[in-house]
Amino acid sequence: MNNAQIKAALQNLSDNCQGIEVFFIDHEDTLFRSDIRNDDLDDARNEFVAATSRKYVTNEQFTTPFLSQHDTRKHALYIFDFDETPAAFGLVDQVYALSPEERQRLPVYEARDNRLAGIKAIILQLKTLDGKKFCFYQHVFGVTILNSGKGVLNLTTHATRVVKLQNDILRVSSNFVFMKLDDTFLIENINTLENQLNFKNVIHQRAADYTEQLVEKCFAEDLDIFLEKVQEDTSFARKVVKVCRHSVVLEQEIDTATLIDFVKQEEEYFSALKFNEEETLFDLKSINRCRKFLELLDDDFLRSPLTQESYIARSKDRLR
């Protein structure tokens, strides 16, 4: 799906949403249906759809890059484009494929002793008049649940009195980790995907594989510091994945000599990067030089044909 198709689908959700179902997942990844009153679900559906519309349908800055192109931009849903998928995707697939009969056979979640701490995640499934399904996966953080037994005194109201809170409270917001639309997974919260759904392990492994490919291209004498950074820094590993999958420099097979000649002409790079004594290879024996070399491969240095001004552009989309 492309940006226009995704936006049109979300517009359809905004205009024609008629149903909502809520499912819970416990810490053993068991799927449960909820037993929430229809009136409460109607309110939740309206609020959730309105918030999603504000974020993505009416927002002119909304974009849908691939997840492997993750950068600093906001107002984006990232299209998942990796072969390895988190286990949570399978749970959403399960909800997406449920028949009415299978749905009724799911156990209802029972909050034993009025506790909600057993819920690890929530899946909201919304449906439009034409039968289109949208599944949203929300991770339940510790701060999402107000535990009635914690703190000195948790208060609520009863009739005209202020009384002690007796039951836990689970707050459901309009934010989500990812959503499923047809066969496409769209990521909203990358940090949660990486840290709570363990996807950062995939990022680090993929980045390590790509680093071996960079070694074979003989850009530098020593990539040991580079590889160490890939193993310990997820943001750096993510950048390596982005560069190695989408770099025009690598796509056009620009060689080391050409890169070195370019660096010598541009102070932005020349002041930060070093070469070996023969000036035939890059010296990447520092973290800062490794980062700058990635910027070079990502073609972050841009010059405006209108003003001839130069820029470092870490967020960009190719026009052709």
Which residue among 198, 215, 236 closes a domain?
198
Q: What are phi and psi of 167, to 5 degrees?
A: -120, 150
Running DSSP on this structure, what letter comes out for residue 276? -
Token digits of residue 123: 């899946």
309 CB-side CA count, 13 A? 5
- If asked whether residues 263 and 155 sit together in one domain, one would say no
142 and 127 belong to one structural domain:
yes
Q: How far apart are CA 212 and CA 125, in angstroms?
A: 42
Instruction: Provide the pairing of β-strand 301-303 with 145-146.
Output: unpaired
* Tens-place pLDDT, residues 188-200: 999 999 999 999 9
126 SS3 class: strand
If asked whether residues 236 and 187 sit together in one domain, one would say no
What pLDDT, in 10s, does the model give residues 78-115?
Answer: 999 999 999 999 999 999 999 989 989 999 988 776 57
Do 113 and 175 share a domain, yes or no?
yes
Range of the domain at 94: 3-198
> Of 110-124, 144-158, 264-278, where does mean pLDDT reach its minimum?
144-158
Residues 240 and 154 in one domain: no
Structural domains of the chain, count: 2
The reply to whether 318 falls in a domain is no
Q: pTM of the predicted model, to two decimals? A: 0.88
pLDDT > 90 fraction of the chain, expressed in percent and rounded:
68
Residue (of 82, 78, 80) closest to 64 by Cα position: 78
From CA 20, how far away is CA 31, in angstroms rounded? 17
Write the CB contacts of 192 (distance below 8 Å, at least 6 apart in sequence): 139, 177
